[in-house]
Amino acid sequence: MDLMLCSGTGCVSNKAFRIKQALGDELHKHGLQEEVDVVLTGCNGFCARGPVLVVKPGEIFYQSLTEKQIPHLVEEHFLKGRPVYKLMFTPPDERVPVPVMGDIGFFSKQVLVALRNRGMIDPEKIDEYIARDGYGALGKALTEMTPEEILSEVETSGLRGRGGAGFPTAFKWRLCRESPGNSKHVICNADEGDPGAFMDRSIIESDPHSVLEGMTIGARAMGASQGHVYIRHEYPLARERLIKAIDQARDYGLLGEDILGSGFDFDVAITRGAGAFICGEETSLIASLEGRPPEPRVRPPYPTQSGVWGEPTNINNVETWANVPEIINRGGSWFSGIGTEKSKGTKVFALVGKVKNTGLVEVPMGITLREVVYDIGGGILDDKEFKAVQTGGPSGGCIPESLLDLPVDYERLAEVGSIMGSGGLIVMDEDTCMVDVARYFIEFLRGESCGKCTPCREGLGVMFKVLTDICEGRGTEGDIELLEDLALIVHDASLCGLGSTAPNPVLSTIKYFRDEYEAHIHEHRCPAGVCKELITFSIDEEICVGCLMCLKECPGDAITGDVKVAHSIEQALCTKCGACRDVCRIDGAIVVH
């Protein structure tokens, strides 16, 4: 027997989680825990009668449940087999023809933890956050728990850093806690620099207090009194909402001195960054926060020993902090119940590129990439062929179709040459040239390299040149091997994470799409029809109906023809922008060689 307990936001605010706890306790008491499963589901639309519970099989629908009713319900229905009529709901005759959220693929596979309040509260009103149990975890942490207990709860949860590297959060907290020093710092890294990624921005924009509450709890565990949010200048709305949130929290005494009357002091300041990718690296971020140029330094000493102004410092990213209040509220073992063996909880991804549904998704660890791309993303735009999915931003790798059933997990992604990263997920279709993609990321990284280490500064420059040569038809025998050699050196001889992961886009595209590199080098051909130097556009006069669409669109006036007269392209004038292909409505009329 399955008990489908709604955990949509409506039912949760009516204490659905307490019902779950009570059900679990009662079932256990009667020894029914093996036979009866309690399953959390998405919203089925009956929020007004929440918390609601559907018993399967039989579809018996219980509504407006309270904790007090649970012992009676369990004993009568699940032990003695007599459904409790007075708790049931008789549905009205007419059914709403609009689907429920649980039927929409985009929403049905998501599990919200870090994004638990997204779209539900006004982020500029602290009272609305409190209404959804906000700052409840802080109250618990400050009045019922010792710093050691907070730490062990986070340890039990198995939470790992969501910024990219996946370092165990509790381990880092402990190092900071045990470092000698009266003045300690916690930092929230909101300097999200991956192209196409917007997880952290969205969390701060929709729920800034969850981050502040997480930081305050962490600070308590580590004995830190100063908090910093390092946020990029390119995120004005997130910053504005964060400033308002900090002001409101201070007014309520949730930041500042003597928080909630506990005697604990903690406050948060905002530092603006100029949007440098290198600031994702801890020591660079700290340098920038102190007002110096962002360059990484040798570790040890680690920031947990010597960070901001030489004092013990712990850095976590936005999503990591946003998870902390829920771990304290619902317990570390609840959190570690979600996910895979080594990757616990959920992960937020920015799902972008050539998928039908783009947006921000939060999924349990262990979900397959195929589910993310096809069930949540809705498949490839215009029903084209899938080619690859890029995870982990510029430092990540491209994963091909054959590996789509890979579960999302820190270790498994690393095994195939990519990384979890901070959560960018770029889906590419058949019209994407993988050499061009590698070149794009190396160009980005070359620009973002701070220049301190020669292999990264010069190596990425040479790699970019080789990739450009290949894309422009000047590739020669041995280029692939040269790229592989350079990749190894840049990886091994760079000081920080930027350099050591920078070759990933090149290595993974060579590994899985070597044929595309070879086509560029040996046949001077771009199979995807992207690299301008290697393609020509022409019009098939048999197919062209002479509609003038491309002729009007061509920015170089390279197309000639007339109404109902087949058009043609003057090659000398063609800039290969592809505008004609985009506007042409006749299949096969525009030919790309």
Partner 1 sequence: MTKLRRDDLERIRKLMAKRMSLREGEATARVTVHMGTCGIAAGARKIMSAFLAAQGESTRNDILITTSGCAGLCSREPMATVEIEGEAPVKYVDLDEKKVKQIFEEHVLSGRIVEKLALAVGSERVG
Site for partner 1 in 69-98 (CB under 8 A): 96-98
Q: Which of 1, 88, 104, 269 binds partner 1 (CB under 8 A)?
A: 104
Per-residue contact track with partner 1, 156 to 195, x per CB under 8 A?
----------------------------------------
Task: Give least dist CB 473 to partner 1, A.
Answer: 36
Residue 18 DSSP SS3: helix
Decide whether 301 or 366 has the Cβ nearer to partner 1.
366
Angle at 285 between CA 280 and CA 289, to 5 degrees: 150
Angle at 198 between CA 192 and CA 202, to 5 degrees: 110
What order of strands is seen across the sheet that includes strand 267-273? 267-273, 226-232, 185-190, 313-317
Distance of alpha carbon 127 from alpha carbon 63, whole angstroms: 27
Write out the two tokens for 101. Answer: 């959220």
Task: Give least dist CB 237 to partner 1, A.
Answer: 5
Amino acid of residue 62: Y
Per-residue contact track with partner 1, 42 to 61, x per CB under 8 A?
xxxxxxx-------------
Residues numbered 331 to 350 that lie near partner 1 (CB under 8 A) are 334
β-bridge mates for residue 362, sequence order:
348
Q: Which of 63, 202, 314, 449 binds partner 1 (CB under 8 A)?
A: 202
Query: Are the beta carbons of 355 and 378 closer than 8 angstroms?
Result: yes
Q: What single-letter DSSP state applies at residue 256? A: B
Q: Count other Cβ atoms within 10 Å, centred on residue 478.
A: 11
Query: Are the beta carbons of 569 and 539 closer than 8 angstroms?
Result: yes
Q: Which of 32, 38, 40, 243 binds partner 1 (CB under 8 A)?
A: 40
Task: Give least dist CB 393 to partner 1, A.
Answer: 18
Distance of alpha carbon 9 from alpha carbon 432, whole angstroms: 39
Distance of alpha carbon 268 from alpha carbon 139, whole angstroms: 18
Q: Which of 79, 83, 106, 301 binds partner 1 (CB under 8 A)?
A: 106
Q: Where does this chain touch partner 1 (CB under 8 A) — which range of 210-218, 233-241, 477-485, 507-515?
A: 233-241
Write out the two tokens for 43. Answer: 């919203």
Decide whether 120 or 435 has the Cβ nearer to partner 1.
120
Distance of alpha carbon 125 from alpha carbon 245, whole angstroms: 8
Decide whether 207 or 281 has the Cβ nearer to partner 1.
207
Q: Which of 103, 405, 485, 582 binds partner 1 (CB under 8 A)?
A: 103
Per-residue contact track with partner 1, 240 to 279, x per CB under 8 A?
-----------xxxx---x-xx------------------
Residues numbered 353 to 382 that lie near partner 1 (CB under 8 A) are 356-361
Task: Give least dist CB 500 to partner 1, A.
Answer: 31
Task: Give least dist CB 221 to partner 1, A.
Answer: 18
Q: Is 501 in the site for partner 1 (CB under 8 A)?
A: no
Task: Give least dist CB 585 to partner 1, A.
Answer: 23
Task: Give least dist CB 123 to partner 1, A.
Answer: 5
Nearest partner of 280 among 504, 454, 115, 496, judged by Cα: 496
Determine phi and psi for 425, rounding to 5 degrees. Answer: -135, 105
Decide whether 9 or 432 has the Cβ nearer to partner 1.
9
Q: Which of 191, 192, 200, 207 binds partner 1 (CB under 8 A)?
A: 207
Decide whether 143 or 146 has the Cβ nearer to partner 1.
143
Decide whether 13 or 538 has the Cβ nearer to partner 1.
13
Q: Which of 26, 192, 326, 516 binds partner 1 (CB under 8 A)?
A: 326
Pairing of strands 226-232, 185-190: parallel
Residue 436 DSSP SS3: helix
Residues numbered 15 to 34 that lie near partner 1 (CB under 8 A) are 17
Count of residues near partner 1 by CB under 8 A: 77
Q: In the 3-class helix/strand/coil scheme, how is 267-331 assigned residue by residue?
A: EEEEEEECCCHHHHCHHHHHHHHCCCCCCCCCCCCCCCCCCHHHCCEEEEEHHHHHHHHHHHHHC
Task: Give least dist CB 259 to partner 1, A.
Answer: 8
Q: At what angle do helices 208-222 and 147-157 cross, to 10 degrees?
A: 120
Q: Is 10 in the site for partner 1 (CB under 8 A)?
A: yes
Decide whether 10 or 397 has the Cβ nearer to partner 1.
10
**One-character DSSP codes across 470-537:** HHTT---TTHHHHHHHHHHHHHHH-SSHHHHHTTHHHHHHHHHHHHHHHHHHHH---TTS--GGG--E
Write out the two tokens for 116. Answer: 């638990």
Task: Give least dist CB 20 to partner 1, A.
Answer: 10
Task: Give least dist CB 544 to partner 1, A.
Answer: 33
Q: At what angle do helices 147-157 and 169-178 cross, to 10 degrees?
A: 150
Q: Which of 12, 498, 550, 554 binds partner 1 (CB under 8 A)?
A: 12
Per-residue contact track with partner 1, 525 to 564, x per CB under 8 A?
----------------------------------------
Query: Are the beta carbons of 387 and 434 closer than 8 angstroms?
Result: yes
Residues numbered 112 to 151 that lie near partner 1 (CB under 8 A) are 112-113, 115-116, 118-124, 127-128, 130-133, 135-136, 139, 142-143
- Tokens 């693929």 belong to 105
Residues numbered 506 to 525 that lie near partner 1 (CB under 8 A) are none
Nearest partner of 466 among 450, 456, 457, 478, judged by Cα: 478
Task: Give least dist CB 323 to partner 1, A.
Answer: 11
Angle at 153 between CA 151 and CA 157, to 5 degrees: 115
Write out the two tokens for 550. Answer: 């491309």
Decide whether 19 or 456 has the Cβ nearer to partner 1.
19
Residues numbered 427 to 486 that lie near partner 1 (CB under 8 A) are none
Decide whether 330 or 347 has the Cβ nearer to partner 1.
330
Task: Give least dist CB 144 to partner 1, A.
Answer: 9
Distance of alpha carbon 498 from alpha carbon 395, whole angstroms: 7
Decide whether 428 or 519 has the Cβ nearer to partner 1.
428
Task: Give least dist CB 93 to partner 1, A.
Answer: 16
